Amino acid sequence: MKAELEQLVALQNVDTGIRRLQSDLESIPRRRAEIESEFDQRAFEFKALQQAGETARETRAALDKELAEQRVRLEKAERDLMASNNSKVYEAAIRERDAAKKHIGELETKVLEQMEAAETAEKQLAEREPEFARLRAEHEERLRAFEEQTRSWSAEIEERRRERERRFAELPPGIKATYQRIVGRIRDGVALAEARNGACSACRMTLRPQLMAEIRRGDDIITCDNCNRILYYQPASQQTPQGTTVSAT
């Protein structure tokens, strides 16, 4: 029985590792979103400058179109003026010509403003480019490291699952069933608890000295009266490198 308890402890350590890896793998979308949102925040000024430049160029393109229309209007007014043969047509053409000229003047001023705005944005972008390049490189590096970690988690969980299968197959059928039954029933899936300092380390229930002695002997499978976990005793010198099975969850 002692050997079987040891097998169970090893199995439980593997199961705990699998659960931890599973929760790491499940956290991937959230962690990736965090990385992206942090980058968005840090790159905000860069994006604002890009946006400002783009807006200025778009506004300018619209102004240029309007300017071309007003120039056509001006040419027409000038032709009408040349062709006018009475004062009424003449005055109307003068008014139309002046209005077009005024509008053209206003549009030209606006075009200049937009050109300046685009230039300013481009200049600032160029000045800060090394800073932004560093930011982008850092971000790419973080993503790359994250992908690498994800791959290593996936590989590790596969390996642990194979180990789990192998260890589980080695158990006597009766023990397998007991273990699976307890795993299925217990919320955190941890079926074994160390009996330590006269208590169950999972639920803290005190264990009678006589029961402690039986657990220490390890001849039978003894479960905790309170939490139903299989109790085992581990001499201090033989603690598993993974630490205790309960605190590892």
**Binding residues vs Zn ion (CB under 5 A):** 200, 202-203, 205, 224, 226-227
- How many residues can be counted in the chain? 249
| Nearest residue (CB) to Zn ion, 130 versus 184 | 184
CB of 205 to Zn ion, least distance (A): 5
| Nearest residue (CB) to Zn ion, 161 versus 181 | 181
CB of 182 to Zn ion, least distance (A): 11
CB of 178 to Zn ion, least distance (A): 15
CB of 236 to Zn ion, least distance (A): 20
Residues 6+ apart with CB under 8 A from 210: none
Q: How far apart are CA 147 and CA 225, in angstroms?
A: 45
Instruction: Write the DSSP string, 84-100.
Output: --SHHHHHHHHHHHHHH
Helix (H, G, I), strand (E, B) or coil at 203: coil
Of the CA atoms within 13 Å of residue 72, those in its CB half-sphere come to 6
Cβ neighbours around 179 below 10 Å, total: 22
Alpha-carbon torsion angle 116, 119, 120, 122, nearest 10: 160
Cβ neighbours around 200 below 10 Å, total: 24
Note whether 246 and 224 are within 8 A (CB): no
| Nearest residue (CB) to Zn ion, 5 versus 63 | 5
| Nearest residue (CB) to Zn ion, 204 versus 217 | 204
CB of 166 to Zn ion, least distance (A): 28
CB of 152 to Zn ion, least distance (A): 35
| Nearest residue (CB) to Zn ion, 49 versus 207 | 207
Q: How far apart are CA 220 and CA 176, in angstroms?
A: 15
Cβ neighbours around 209 below 10 Å, total: 9
Helix (H, G, I), strand (E, B) or coil at 249: coil
| Nearest residue (CB) to Zn ion, 157 versus 224 | 224
